[in-house]
Amino acid sequence: MALIVAKFGGSSVASVEKIKNITLRIRDMRDQGDDAVVVVSAMGDTTDDLIKLARATGNELCCRELDMLLATGEQQSAALLALTLKNLGCDAISLTGWQAGIRSDSTYNKARINGVDTERIKKELNQGKIVVIAGFQGISPEGDITTLGRGGSDTSAVALAISLKADSCMIFTDVEGVYTADPRIVKDARKLSKISYEEMLEMASLGAVVMQPRAVELAMLYRIDVEVRSSFNSNPGTIITGVENMEKQRVVTGVTHDLNCAKFALFDVPDRPGIAKTLFKALAEHGINVDMVIQSAMRDNRNDIAFTIMRDDLDRALPVVREIAEKISASGMTYGEDVAKVSVVGAGMQSNPGVAAAMFEALADENINIQMISTSEIRISCIIDRSCIETAVRALHRKFALDTLD
Amino acid sequence: MALIVAKFGGSSVASVEKIKNITLRIRDMRDQGDDAVVVVSAMGDTTDDLIKLARATGNELCCRELDMLLATGEQQSAALLALTLKNLGCDAISLTGWQAGIRSDSTYNKARINGVDTERIKKELNQGKIVVIAGFQGISPEGDITTLGRGGSDTSAVALAISLKADSCMIFTDVEGVYTADPRIVKDARKLSKISYEEMLEMASLGAVVMQPRAVELAMLYRIDVEVRSSFNSNPGTIITGVENMEKQRVVTGVTHDLNCAKFALFDVPDRPGIAKTLFKALAEHGINVDMVIQSAMRDNRNDIAFTIMRDDLDRALPVVREIAEKISASGMTYGEDVAKVSVVGAGMQSNPGVAAAMFEALADENINIQMISTSEIRISCIIDRSCIETAVRALHRKFALDTLD
């Protein structure tokens, strides 16, 4: 008899009808003789609706009270799932984060899990119950309710799987797994049966968010396998695991793209120490993450600086960049939303030189101009014209033969 | 510096706008140098909406999970009120039932409070905070969330006032207090400045529910005063208190009426022991409360039995009564919704004979026929024709000079 930790996201519990659908999947586990701990997110848009209410008070930023408010969403979906399971004849019990023993620090809105006291969960499992746990939440050392920040329910599930020494951790979502590219763009994109933690982290941060990076990091730290699969059917998904477990070394594992990009350029910036710091510190203070940066070769002790941010942050970034441009006496500033990022990811590229060259060649063959480049050990990303993104993804998928290899 | 426990009901926290209104009232307490513990119900129709969701699972009756679901309503309004208070510059903190130390038994859906561990509340008060507590909920000895049943938030407030030895317990509601009669019917109805626990209990059970009877009983048991007042203005309300505190003994304190009545009559019921038991036990098993009963003088060893129930229960009662009527071979059965109940209540009538006679006289003077009568030590109720109810209430209010006495 195995112990499975299964997490269902907000879209899987968005209505009582959808909750009824997933109970069938949970009953299947039970029918196979497995014990199940089920972690749920809040129903559909509940969290957003609660944030709107908090905002209406004029005080959305008060962290402790916001967590008190937001944590109700997962408590509701957990209770409704337990009710539905019991109605189906499966004995079930719902637990809040604090009842499930999920201890966190006191960093409201983005608390980190310190540990899980599993006594209560084990007691309920021993009584033959399916244990449904409200994700995204914990309890601080002071006895206050905390929430774990974006993707918190994925992190709850992984932490529970680790603490309970579960045989399996499954993240049920609205996609079937991790693909070699977005199947909406590349018709012959393949579902990967396995992917390494490192690759998954890169792909998630590049726009293919099937599982939250933070939860992947936690799984990687404790070396537990996590399977991402569909909540709508019983097809096998993608197993996120350590490289040492992988049967075959691929050079490139997948192609990802991200349309949530905007680009800034500042011209004729003085070539003095501290200039870049001034700019990027100001952006950081406004909570705006800078993705790629290039600085052109200097002429007359002046540089051009270009960088990209998330397109969602553009409105907030504009006044900040304008002010800094003036302050550092740049001769001009431009920005644009007509860019996108395409990346190839693969643990294998560490030992395979020539991946970058092949990538650039594939893009050149399609007459696509590369505006910026950034790389990590297992990733190469290019900023290109937004209108070319689908062509680029297809060309790279073909170039690295992702439709055939595994 | 006094400690005030103040409870605001669902209509007072139905929207963020309404929550903003009551924060002004809470700030007033603070400005007068008082400490405040505020108990809130769920926003508007939240509890009903959650019950609908539970019903949609097909399993509304599973008590533990239902409490888990319902308790989120009060947690949300408590968090939103704390957010709003903080926005107004009043330091505040919200606590769930379990954080506030409200210990209950394990009778889900209608748990009774065993006690309150006040350490956390006192700690927060000592730090100068307004403590906002989610009403209607507690924690069982097993560490599970319980709810206290209908009117639970009133009971939470009274229990907290007792445990904290508060100087004042105020129930803020959408009426200004307890009136000598319904002001919509009797123009010169007066707001009572004081009413005894016993009178309040009678009046509440007779349709004038400004405060839940269960909370009144708790206040009576511990002899603490409770003030019912409006959440929309700062007028003084009605103080519910012990008779010994009352300045003046009134014979009749108020006139109440209840339109939620339906009447059954069974004809020619055999005069055997156990017949009434059969009928009323069957109704009780279906959760239907019988209010008044009369049994006519027997003729030929057969009786007529008439009784009233709440009109809301009529549809459920009909098949039960029909079946029993056949079983006990009654010669016939009738029922009607064209009845209503009018009552006079007053602790003073215990020592004043003649109240019943005065009541019957007042009704007779208006040509109102009395169909059934029931009495307690401090109450006389009559079932009359529904169409006469307003005339009856006005006549009785006049008869006992309720517009002038205090």
Chain A residue with CA closest to B69: the answer is A76
Q: Chain A contact for B145, CB < 8 A?
A: yes
Task: Report CB contact under 8 Å: B16, A59.
Answer: no
What residue has token string 């007691």? A123
pLDDT tens string B195-209: 999 889 888 766 666
User: Which residue is closest to A61 within chain B, CA to CA?
Assistant: B83
**Per-residue confidence band for B62, with pLDDT thresholds at 50, 70 and 90:** low
The percentage of chain B sitting over the pLDDT mark of 70, rounded to a whole number, equals 95
Listed residue (A352, A384, A380, A349) closest to A366, CA to CA = A384
- Is B83 in Cβ contact with A59 (below 8 Å)? yes
ipTM for the complex shown:
0.79
The band of B368, judged by pLDDT with boundaries at 50, 70 and 90, is very high
Query: Of residues A310 and A61, which shows the higher confidence score?
Result: A310
Chain A positions touching B93 (Cβ under 8 A) are 64-65
Buried/exposed code over A379-389 (b: 16+ C-beta within 10 A; e: otherwise):
bbbbbbbeebb
B79: chain A residues, CB-CB within 8 Å: 54, 65-66, 68-69
Are the beta carbons of B83 and A62 separated by less than 8 Å?
yes
Domain B3-174, architecture per CATH: 3-Layer(aba) Sandwich (3.40)
Which of B66, B68, B93, B120 to mutate to probe the A interface, most A CBs <10 Å? B68
Among candidate residues B146, B55, B69, the one with its CA nearest the CA of residue A77? B69
Q: Which among B19, B57, B87 has the least Cβ separation from residue A16?
A: B57
Choose the closest CB to A65 out of B50, B83, B120.
B83
- Judged by DSSP in three states, B206 sits in coil
pLDDT-derived band at A360, boundaries 50, 70, 90 = very high
CA distance A109 to chain B (A): 14
Q: Render pLDDT for A136-183 as a digit per residue (tens, 0 to 9).
A: 999 999 999 999 987 799 999 999 999 999 999 999 988 889 999 988
B80 to chain A: which residues are within 8 Å by CB? 53-54, 57, 69
Contact A69 B80 (CB under 8 A): yes
CATH entry, A262-336, from 3.30.110.30, 2.60.40.10, 3.30.70.260, 3.20.20.370: 3.30.70.260
Return the minimum-mean-pLDDT range out of A69-83, A91-105, A309-323: A309-323
Note whether B86 contacts A65, CB cutoff 8 Å.
yes
Asked if B76 has any chain A CB less than 8 Å from its own CB, the reply is yes
Are B79 and A69 within 8 A, CB to CB? yes
Q: Taking CB atoms and an 8 Å cutoff, what residues of chain A touch B23? A: none
Which H helix or E strand runs over B26? helix B16-31
A 10 A CB-CB count for A132 gives 31
Is the CB of residue B24 less than 8 Å away from at least one CB of chain A? no
CA angle B297, B298, B299 (to 5 degrees): 125
Residues of B in contact with A56 (CB under 8 A): 16
Instruction: State yes or no: pLDDT of B60 exceeds 90.
Output: no
Closest-CA residue in chain B for A14? Answer: B53
Supply the mean pLDDT for chain A. 90
- Between A275-285 and A314-327, two packed helices, what is the crossing angle to 10 degrees? 150
Distance from CA of B32 to the nearest CA of A (A): 24
Taking only the tens place, the pLDDT of each residue in B146-199 is 999 877 999 999 999 999 999 999 999 988 899 999 888 999 999 999 999 988
Dist. CA B334–CA B339, nearest whole Å: 13
In Å, how far is B189's CA from the nearest CA of chain A? 38
- Chain B residues with beta carbon closer than 8 angstroms to that of A69: 75-76, 79-80, 83
3-state helix, strand, coil in chain B (%, to 5): 40, 25, 35
- pLDDT confidence bin for A119, thresholds 50/70/90: very high
Q: Tens digits of per-residue pLDDT, B75-95?
A: 999 999 999 999 988 999 999
What residue spans define the domains of chain A?
3-174, 262-336
Give the CA angle between residues A218, A192, A367 to the nearest 5°.
105
Give the pLDDT of residue A247.
Answer: 46
- Measured between CA atoms, the residue of chain B closest to residue A62 is B83
Looking at residue A350, its pLDDT comes to 76
A386-390, B194-198, B351-355: segment of lowest average pLDDT: B351-355
Tens-place pLDDT, residues A46-76: 999 999 999 999 876 668 999 999 999 999 9
Contacts of B65 in chain A (CB under 8 A): 79, 82-83, 86, 92-94
Q: Are strands B332-336 and B262-270 parallel, antiparallel or unpaired?
A: antiparallel
pLDDT of res. B247: 46
Q: How many CB pairs under 8 A join A and B?
A: 111
Interface of B with A in 40-69 (CB under 8 A): 50, 53-54, 56-60, 62, 64-66, 68-69
Please report, as a single letter, which amino acid is at residue B196: S
pLDDT tens figures, B124-143 = 999 999 999 999 999 999 99
Q: Does A19 contact chain B (CB < 8 Å)?
A: yes
Question: How large is the average pLDDT for residues B95-115?
Answer: 95
Partner-chain residue, chosen from B59, B72, B144, that has the shortest CB–CB distance to A84: B59
**Per-residue pLDDT at A259:** 92
**Burial readout A218-257 (b: 16 or more C-beta within 10 A, e: otherwise):** bbbeeebbbbbbbbbeeeebbbbbeeeebeeebbbbbbbb
The CA distance from B229 to B29, in Å, is 14
Interval B247-292: pLDDT, tens: 456 788 899 999 999 999 998 888 777 787 888 888 988 888 888 8
Q: Which residues of A touch B76 (CB under 8 A)?
A: 50, 53, 69, 72
> Among A49-63, A159-173, A287-301, B216-230, which stretch is predicted with the lowest mean pLDDT?
A287-301
What is the reported pLDDT for A276? Answer: 79
Residue found by looking up tokens 């809130």 in the block:
B40
Does any CB of chain A come closer than 8 Å to the CB of residue B89? Answer: no
Instruction: Report CB contact under 8 Å: A83, B66.
Output: yes
From A13, A10, A29, select the one nearest A21 (Cα to Cα): A13
Which of B65, B93, B109, B121 would you mutate first to test chain A, the one with the most A CBs within 10 A? B65
3-state helix, strand, coil in chain A (%, to 5): 40, 25, 35
Checking if the pLDDT of A16 tops 80, the result is: yes
Provide mean pLDDT across the span A26-40. Answer: 92
Distance from CA of B80 to the nearest CA of A (A): 6
Q: What is the pLDDT of residues A208-248, one digit of tens each?
A: 667 888 899 999 999 999 999 998 888 999 999 987 544 45
Using the Cβ of A106 and the Cβ atoms of chain B, whether some distance falls under 8 Å is answered with no
Q: Which of A94, A144, A145 sits opposite B65 (nearest CB)?
A: A94
Quick check: A367 pLDDT over 60? yes
Give DSSP secondary structure letters for A242-309. Answer: -GGG-SS--S--EEEEE---EEEEEEEEE--TTHHHHHHHHHHHTTPPEEEEEEPPPBTTEEEEEEEE
Across the interface, do A62 and B96 touch by the CB < 8 Å criterion?
A: no
Q: Which positions in chain B touch A137 (Cβ < 8 Å)? A: none
Please state the rounded mean pLDDT for residues A20-39.
Answer: 92
Phi, psi torsion values for B327, nearest 5 degrees: -60, -40
Interface contact flag, B78 A68, Cβ < 8 Å? yes
Q: Would you place residue B222 in the very low, low, confident or very high pLDDT band (cuts 50, 70, 90)?
A: very high
pLDDT score of B404: 82
CB contacts, 8 Å: A72 with chain B: 72, 75-76
Out of A314-328, A347-361, B162-176, least confident range:
A347-361
Q: What is the pLDDT of residues B309-342, one digit of tens each?
A: 999 889 999 999 999 999 888 888 999 999 999 9
* pLDDT at residue B245 in the model: 45
Closest partner residue to B69 among A79, A93, A145, by Cβ?
Answer: A79
